[in-house]
Structure 1
Amino acid sequence: MKYHKPNFQGPAMKGDLLWLSSMLLLLPGAGSCPEKCLCHTPTKSVDCSRQGLKEIPSELPPRTQILHLQHNYIGDVPTSAFSSTPLLRTLDLSHNALLTLAPGAFLGLGHLQVLNLTQNSLHSLESKIFQSLPQLQELDLSFNNIQELPKFQGETLSHLTRLAIQRNQLQQVRRAHLASLPSLRVLFFKDNLWKCNCHLLDLKLWLESFVYKGGITDGVICSSPDIWKGKDLLKIPYELYNTCLPLLGNGAPIETQLPDTAQQDRPHPSQRQEQVDKSQSDCELKPKARPVNLRHAVATVVITGVVCGVVCLMMLGAVIYGCTYAAVMAKGHGEPLRHANEPRKFGEEKAPLGTSLA
C-alpha cells in the first residue's frame, strides 16, 4: 500500500496564506526587532545601546515602552522620529552626538514620562520642543552646551517633577520659565556660567520660594563677578541688588504709568531699548557695592573719630590756655617790686608818710 502525503496546498489554504501576507504588509515591522538591537517582549523594552548607531533605528516594535539608545553616535533627531512607538514611556538618548533636535522630534509621544538627553552637544532648544510631551515627569539636559533654556509651556509640562541642567553654558534663567512648572520638586543647577548680576535677582527670589515650599536644589554657584565667584546665589545679601529693583524678570525696566496718562507719552521702542541698555549697564557697573550695614558702620566710625578728635583738640586748647594763664599770673605777682624802684613820673604826688605806713 502506498502512503500519500496530505495536500495542504488546496484553495482554502492558499487563501488563508494570502490573507495573512496582506495583513503583515499592512503592519510593517509588527513584531520585528531592528538589527543590532535586543527586544524583550515581556518588559516591552528595546535595547539598542552601544551599537555604533548614527540614526534612530526604523521598524521599532510598536508596543515598545522603554527604548535605550545611549552610547551611540546619533547626531540629530528628525521630526516624528518615534511615530512608530506611540506607547513609549522611557527614552534614553544620553551619551550621543546630538547637535540639534527638530521642532517636532517628539511628536506622538503623549505617554512619555522620562527623557534623558544628558552628555550630548546640544547648543539650543526650540521653544516648543517639549510641547508634545504632556505626561513628562523627568527631563535631564545636563552635560550639554545649552546657553539658554526654552520657555517651558506649563500647560503641557504640568507633570514635570525633576529637571536637571547641570554642566551647561547658562548665565541666567528667567523666573517665568520655571514658574510655569507647577509640579517641579527637584532642580539641579550646578556647574554653569552663572552671572550673579541684576538679571539673577528674580531667580534668587524664585529659588527662595521654591526651597521654602520643600523643593530640592543644588544651588546656583556664581561664576562672576569675581567678588561672588564660588558663592551660592541664595547666600548673597539683598543689599547687592538695591540698584537692580527697576528690573523685572524679563530684563525690562519697570514702567509706572498713571491711569490718565496719554498713550503718546509712552517712550518710543528705541528709547525704551536705550533705557534697558542703560539699566543693564548701570547694573553691570555696580556689582561691588558695599552692603548698607557696612556703609553705616564705616560712617559711624568716621563720625566717632571726628568727634573724638574735636574733643581732644578742645582739651589741648584748655591745657594750653591754663598754662598760659598761670604763667601770666605768676609774672604779675613780681610787678609791685619793680614799680617801687622806678622813679615817679612828672605830675605824680608823693603820698604822706603816715598814709604810706598805714
Structure 2
Amino acid sequence: MKRFSCLCHLSSKTVDCRNRGLVHTPSHLPPETHILLLQNNHIWKINESAFIETPGLKILDLSNNSVSSLSSSAFQGLRHLQILNLTKNFIHYVDNKTFSSLPHLKELDLSSNRILSLPETLGNNTWNITLLSVKHNKLLKLDRILLESLPNLKVVLFKDNPWQCNCHVFGLKLWLESFLYRGGISDGIICSTPENRKGKDLLKVPYEMYGICPPPAAHVHLANVPHHYNSELRSSVKHAHHSEHGDSSHSNCEPKPKPRPANLRHAIATVVITGVVCGIVCLMMLAAAVYGCAYAAITAKYHREHLALTKEKGSVEEKEPFDSSLA
C-alpha cells in the first residue's frame, strides 16, 4: 500500500487515503475493503467503474475533494455500499442514474456542493435511503416526486439553499408536513424569494398565500396529509381552481390581498341571538300549550256544571204537578 501512500487496516478492512494529495481515485485496492476514506484530497473526477475492484465496499467517503461531475456509472458494482459521503465538492449536476447501482444505499450526503437542481428520482434502486442531505447547495426547488420515491426516508436536510417559495414549492410544503407528521426529521426550509417571504419558514407560510396557484398534480394524496391540514388544503385547492379559470394575469404567483379574517365576536353574538330567539319561541309555544289546556279544562268544567244544573231543574219541574194533585 505504500505506492499509493495509503494505510491499510486489515482488522477493520479499512483503507485510509486521507490527505494524500490524490487527484484520481486509487486503483489496485484490496478487493475485501469495506471502508474507503478518500477525504481531503484533490480528486476532480470519478472515472467509470472506478471502484469495480472493491465490490464489497460499505462506506465510501469522498468529502472535501474537487469532484465536479458524476457519471452515470461512477459507482457501478458497489451493490453493498450503505454510506456515501460527497460533501464539500463542486458537484453541480446529478444524473438520475448515478446511484441506480446502489440498492443497499442508506445514507447519501450531497451537502456543500453547487447543485442547482435534482432529478425526479435518484435511481431505480434507491428506495432504501433513510438519510438524504442537500444542505448548502444552490437549490431553488425540489420536486416532491423525488422525495416520494424514497419511502424509507427518515432524515432529510434542506438548510442553506436559496429556496424559491412560489407555486413550485407548494407540493414540497405538503410533503414536508406529512413527513414530519409521520415522525420524520428535517431542519426545515427557509424561503429566500419572493421578498415578502424571505427568511420565513415554509411550514409557517399560510395556505392562503398559494390561493392563486394551479391545483397540485394528480399524484398529491390527501390521505397522507394530517387531518388538521386537510381542510386547509381542500380550501386552497378550491380557490386555486377558481383562480385558474377566472384570472390568468397572476402568472408570477404573487399573493392576493390577505382575506379578511372572520370576526369571532360576531360569530358568538350570532349564536347567542339565535339561542335567545329559539328560547323565546319555545316559551311562547309552551305558554300556548298551557293556555290551551287550561281553556279546555275550564270549558269542560263549565259544560259539566251546566249539564248538572239542567238535569236538576228538569227533575223539579217534573215533581211539582204530582205534589199539587195530592193537595
Q: Structure 2: how far apart are the matches of 1:291 and 1:111?
A: 53
2:77 is matched with: 108
In our comparison, the structure showing a higher alpha carbon Rg is 1
- Corresponding residue SS for 2:15: strand
Q: Structure 2: how far apart are the matches of 1:154 and 1:96?
A: 24
Partners of 1:67 and 1:90 within 8 A in 2:
yes
Does structure 1 residue 228 correspond to structure 2 residue 197?
yes
Partners of 2:165 and 2:192 within 8 A in 1:
yes
How many equivalent residue pairs?
A: 238
- Corresponding residue SS for 1:125: coil
Q: 1:33 to 1:246 in 2, by over 3 A?
A: same
1:119-166 deviations in Å (ceiling 9; x for gaps): 000010111000000000000000000011123257511210000000
1:129 is matched with: 98
The residue type paired with residue 41 of structure 1 is L
2:181 is matched with: 212
1:287 is matched with: 254
Out of 139, 142, 160, the residue aligned to residue 170 of structure 1 is 139
The residue type paired with residue 212 of structure 2 is T
Aligned counterparts, 1:136-175, within 5 A: 136-153=105-122, 155-175=124-144
1:184 is matched with: 153
The residue type paired with residue 28 of structure 2 is E
Partners of 1:154 and 1:180 within 8 A in 2:
no
After TM superposition, the runs of 4+ consecutive aligned structure 1 residues lying more than 6 A away are none
Q: 1:43 to 1:235 in 2, by over 3 A?
A: same
Gaps of 5+ in 1: 1-31, 251-274, 301-358
What TM-score, normalized by structure 2, do the two folds share? Answer: 0.69
Q: Structure 1: how far apart are the matches of 2:218 and 2:2?
A: 49
What TM-score, normalized by structure 1, do the two folds share? Answer: 0.63
The residue type paired with residue 250 of structure 2 is D
Gaps of 5+ in 2: 220-243, 267-327
2:306 is matched with: none
Out of 80, 83, 86, the residue aligned to residue 117 of structure 1 is 86
Partners of 1:33 and 1:60 within 8 A in 2:
no
State the identity as a percent: 49
Q: Structure 2: how far apart are the matches of 1:177 and 1:196?
A: 18
Partners of 1:170 and 1:194 within 8 A in 2:
yes
Partners of 2:98 and 2:122 within 8 A in 1:
no
- Corresponding residue SS for 2:164: coil
- Corresponding residue SS for 1:227: helix
Q: Structure 1: how far apart are the matches of 2:123 and 2:5?
A: 38
Out of 174, 198, 204, the residue aligned to residue 167 of structure 2 is 198
1:192-230 deviations in Å (ceiling 9; x for gaps): 010000000000000000000000000010000111101
